[in-house]
Structure 1
Amino acid sequence: MTEHSIDLGAAASEEANIATVEKLFSALRDKDLDTAESSLSDYVVYQNVGLPTIRGSKRAMKLFAGMQRPSMGFDFKIHRTAADGETVLNERTDVIAVGPVRLQFWVCGVFEVRDGRITLWRDYFDFFDMTKALVRGLLGAVVPALRPTL
């Protein structure tokens, strides 16, 4: 291969890894826990940096199951995605809705995908940004015109 040639097999693998990550997020948005769980390795490590680490798909799914109440919702918008082999990076906006309160905040995610399943999910976010999201979400619950939208 030349310096500028593309390894089509590696590119296809990276695209498949990106698709696995996107499938997980779509399933969580759609409250499809079976599909979400099928995206995770049994031994997944799920980290929200600064918060306790969750180990194993069963524990991660227990957390997500708690967010499946009718009054709760999750949405996301991926702004950028990059892949290098088994590693997928994305920059996104996540939305967590609890009744009329909508928290919308920036997240950068790192994923390791092996054999079509996520083995590592590490999210980085800013606690100050989360605090602003909470204030804006609470204000938006009272004044709908202030409610954030994707």
Structure 2
Amino acid sequence: MGDSENERIVAEFLTALREKDFATAGKLLDDDLVYENVGFPTVRGGRRTIKLFEALTRMGFDVAVHRTATDGDTVLNERTDVLSFGPVRVQFWVCGTFELHDGRITLWRDHFDVFDLTKAIGRGLAGAVVPALRPSFSDAAR
């Protein structure tokens, strides 16, 4: 697979998650996927990872990718992720590492700052009470 094809697969995967198209997202994950949010428990297996996201269907997910770098089978992206729960919008910076083999994602590792996430939760809760404080992608560094 070429660099641009691997970038396309990662973009398609994130879009499928945003749209809750778990069938498409699942097809892009390898059965032996390793999914890590650094500092949290590792999830192993593509099906298990998709089941996790299916269980979180009440939660909204959005993503804005700011930069992407690819080196062979590895795609790195810097992005802003949004998790929303009703009026609570939690928006935070993430650096993602994706490894692909034969057109499928075999490793998905996200790094983020826990303090930044804690601030985002506070801002999201404040924004639920005072909508003018609710974060938006225009607030994200691009």
* 1:28 and 2:9 are equivalent in the alignment: no
Give the Cα–Cα distance (whole angstroms) in 2 for the partners of residues 114 and 20 of structure 1: 11
Give the Cα–Cα distance (whole angstroms) in 2 for the partners of residues 41 and 14 of structure 1: 18
The TM-score normalised by the length of structure 1 is 0.89
SS at match of 1:107: strand
Q: State the match for 1:66 in structure 2.
A: 55
**Gaps spanning 5+ residues in structure 1: where?**
1-11
SS at match of 2:36: strand
* 1:97 and 2:81 are equivalent in the alignment: no
Q: State the match for 2:66 in structure 1.
A: 79
How far residue 26 of structure 1 moved from its aligned partner, in angstroms, is 0.2
SS at match of 1:22: helix
Give the Cα–Cα distance (whole angstroms) in 2 for the partners of residues 94 and 36 of structure 1: 17
Aligned length: 137
**Gaps spanning 5+ residues in structure 2: where?**
138-142
1:64 alignment partner AA:
F
- Equivalences for 1:116-135 in 2 at 5 Å? 116-135=103-122
Give the Cα–Cα distance (whole angstroms) in 1 for the partners of residues 52 and 90 of structure 2: 18
The TM-score normalised by the length of structure 2 is 0.94
Higher-Rg structure is 1
1:14 alignment partner AA:
D
For residue 35 of structure 2, the aligned residue among 28, 46, 53 is 46
SS at match of 2:15: helix
Task: Give CA-to-partner distance per residue, 1:39-88, whole Å, 9 cap, x none.
Answer: 1001100000000000001110111001212xx21000000000000000
- Cα root mean square deviation, aligned: 0.8
* 1:18 and 2:13 are equivalent in the alignment: no
Give the fraction of aligned pairs with identical amino acids, expressed as a percent. Answer: 61
Give the Cα–Cα distance (whole angstroms) in 1 for the partners of residues 7 and 55 of structure 2: 26
